[in-house]
Structure 1
Amino acid sequence: MKKVLLIGEPLIRITPTNYQELTDGVESRVFFGGSEINVACNLQGFGCETKLLTALPQDSLGDRFLDFLDGKGIDTSSVQRKGERVGVYYMEAGFGCRSSQVYYDRGQSSLEAIQVDHFDMEQLFLEVGLVHFSGITVAIGSAVRAWLVQVLKEAKRRKIPISMDLNWRSKMIGLRDAKKVFSQFATYADYCFGLEPIMANEKDWELFERDTATVHTIRERMQTLKEAYKFQAIFHTIRQTDELGRNLYKAYGLADEFCCSQELKTQVLQRVGSGDAFVAGALYKLLEGTSLKAILDFAVASGTYKCSIEGDHMRQSLRKVESLLEGKNDIIR
């Protein structure tokens, strides 16, 4: 299996302990991550080699983040040491009727300092079989979009498949701008995760009503987007909470056929990064060349397993994730 090249921003999450709100003197925990980095960590656990294109500042914090990436086994040969800072976000974990809150502090992070003329394209794409990026990376700003386009064009020239997780963050980019910009980048993608915010046609400025959608309307939306952007496959997740507070997780996929995964349920320790775990599971099985049903089932199992693990990512073996599909959650003696 060839390497996956991931393009994205290193990010530090700071979360108060015990579901507290962020205020003076509150005890907090720090987690290293970022969407594409989370995907890379998950893939490494499955045995798939990864490479990261990003930037870190030339300071002690940048050194520690680089050590973290190296410790996960991620190829960091394309990590540039540029810029002034690592992006940060603060998350207050919700409890009961109180929703989680996120506050971003990621302006002018090192990713914006990357220069395309410093790339060694031969080295960057060496042994790479797939490129993955997210809408979060696209939303960072025009400086990032300028060099990202060049990398994606080079991947296309080399006939390397490209995957995009739409991953819209409304606090980073408004809906109308996201519709325009994400749609431009979706034209480079062979595989798409999500149904929004990209345009099915020139009048498609509203969000798809996923909360009230039926299987029929979901399939219709997926088919329209697949044809409009010539995706090889498109994926959509459904996550709900039952009366006992358990997370219900399933997904739909459309390639040559339309398919639904099995549904898995679990109590949630931490939901952060479960979408990235789903993407990692799907990418692994795509590279393996398995059926659409097998791709969806494993991806859902991966996303579900992450809900049981604290932090922004996980590094679990194939065997552990596959055990969820076999219903094996007893004590292993």
Structure 2
Amino acid sequence: MSKVIGFGEIMLRLSTERHLRFTQAKAFAASYGGGEFNVCVSLANFGIDTSFVTRLPKNEIGACVLKEMRKLNVNSSHVIYGGDRLGIYFLETGAGTRGSNVVYDRANSAMANIEENSLDWEEILKDATWFHWSGITPAISKNAADECLKAIETAHNMGITISSDLNYRSKLWQYGKEPKEIMPELLKYSNIILGDLDTAFFMLGKPKQDPNYQDEKSLPALYDKLFNQLPNLKTVATTLRYTVSASHQRIGGILYDGKRLYNAAIKEVTPVVDRVGSGDAFMGGLIYGLLTYEKDTQKALDFAVAACCLKHTISGDFNLVSIAEVEKMASGDGSGKVSR
């Protein structure tokens, strides 16, 4: 049986309703989310044994997060407490030609101020088969980056598969460090990476590559450059997103395993209900696909793309879809007909 452990921050999400601008909003819809946690929710929803590690404030808001984790069947036994506040992000949902906008309010959050040696990673990971992290956590603070590295090194030493979503957020790196100073040490242990080549080389402090994802013949050589930089890398996946407007996305995907390039057909997604969390839905779908369809990499990629597409139709951070719904879309049925 597979057991996936995720590590990162859970935030309170406050979003405007009915596509209102921040200046128009008289109220905000409250929910919870966070890149790595969203992945764990997807996996738990697909029936994978999943546990999430984070730090929460010991107050009523922290208790709300804990209830949310339990409601979503994500194990919370390794949650620790401390700090004064939960991180917050405000979301203004775009429409048509107006894009969405995110404002973070997460400085000095419980997770940002995580204390050294507060987590026993050997104990946490003792039954795990997979560890997932993303570039968001080391962007929050030096404390969070240090703890993330400790978790990754422990997982590597224990022979656990390690996956990472690069998840570059320019608004987050505010503590005096650039990604190229932090990320190479963390990424060198990763076995599976989700992200585009530009972001990967940027985080490694390497020259821009300008990949042409339409030219499949040139891509393996570019991916090989990444493999040469990261000794434990086995698989790289890239979400292909072509934005027609905030309400219309075209989604596909590419996966390279060091030998062969796999390509998933582009799917039209319109209208978009909520784009936030769609990359996490791809990551969750990819992990599930690689665990479930071990001998069918193309099927794993198709599942990830379909999961990503479906997330665009669901409000909130979480991809609340079934395996059957994802497999139906992956097979080419995106009709959206009523199930009777």
Sort the TM-score into its range (normalised by shorter chain). Answer: over 0.9
Partner in structure 1 of residue 337 of structure 2 = 330
Structure 2: unaligned runs, 5 residues or longer:
none
In the alignment, what sits opposite 1:190?
191
Residue correspondence of structure 1 range 132-171 to structure 2 within 5 A: 132-171=132-171
Greater than 4 Å deviation, 4+ residue runs? 200-203, 210-213, 242-245
1:286 — aligned with what? 290
Partners of 1:94 and 1:101 within 8 A in 2: yes
Give CA deviations for 1:157-183 in whole Å, capped at 9, x if unaligned: 111011110000011128981233222
248-257 or 170-179: which moved more? 170-179
1:98-141 per-residue CA deviation (whole Å, 9 max, x = no partner) reads 22221111111111333342333343013211000000011011
Residues 144-197 of structure 1: CA distance to partner in whole angstroms, max 9, x if unpaired?
A: 112221111111111101111000001112898123322221111111111243
Query: 2:14 aligns to what SS in structure 1?
Result: strand
The answer as to whether partners of 1:133 and 1:163 remain within 8 angstroms in 2 is: yes
Q: Is the 8 A contact 2:255 2:261 kept in 1?
A: yes
Which of 203, 206, 217 lines up with 1:204 in the alignment?
A: 206
The answer as to 2:216 corresponding to 1:215 is yes
Asked whether the equivalents of residues 42 and 315 of structure 1 are also in contact (C-alpha less than 8 Å), the reply is yes
Report SS of the residue matched to 1:248.
Answer: strand
TM-score, normalised to structure 1, is: 0.92
Shift in Å, 1:246: 3.4
CA distance in 2, matches of 1:199, 1:322: 33
Aligned to 2:266: 263
| In structure 2, C-alpha distance between the alignment counterparts of 1:244 and 1:312, rounded to whole Å | 17
1:274 match: 278
Q: TM-score, normalised by structure 2?
A: 0.90
Q: Larger deviation: 119-128 or 71-80?
A: 119-128
Distance 1:11 1:191 in 2: 25
Partner SS state of residue 198, structure 1: helix
Q: How many residues align?
A: 332
Contact 1:89/1:102 (<8 A) preserved = yes
Deviations 1:292-328 (A, max 9, x none): 2111100001001101111111232211111102333
Q: 1:153 & 1:213 partners in 2: Cα distance? A: 36
Inter-partner Cα distance in structure 1 for 2:274 and 2:109: 26
| Alignment match, 2:108 | 108
Preserved CA contact (<8 Å) 1:90 1:102? yes
Q: CA separation in 1, counterparts of 2:116 and 2:54?
A: 12
Matches within 5 A, 1:117-136: 117-136=117-136
Alpha-carbon RMSD: 2.4
| Residues 15-61 of structure 1, C-alpha deviations (whole Å, 9 max, x = no match) | 11122221376222112000011111111111111111101000000
Task: For structure 1, list consecutive stretches of 5 or more residues without a partner in the other structure.
Answer: none
User: Which amino acid is the alignment partner of residue 259 of structure 1?
Assistant: Y
Aligned-pair identity in percent equals: 28
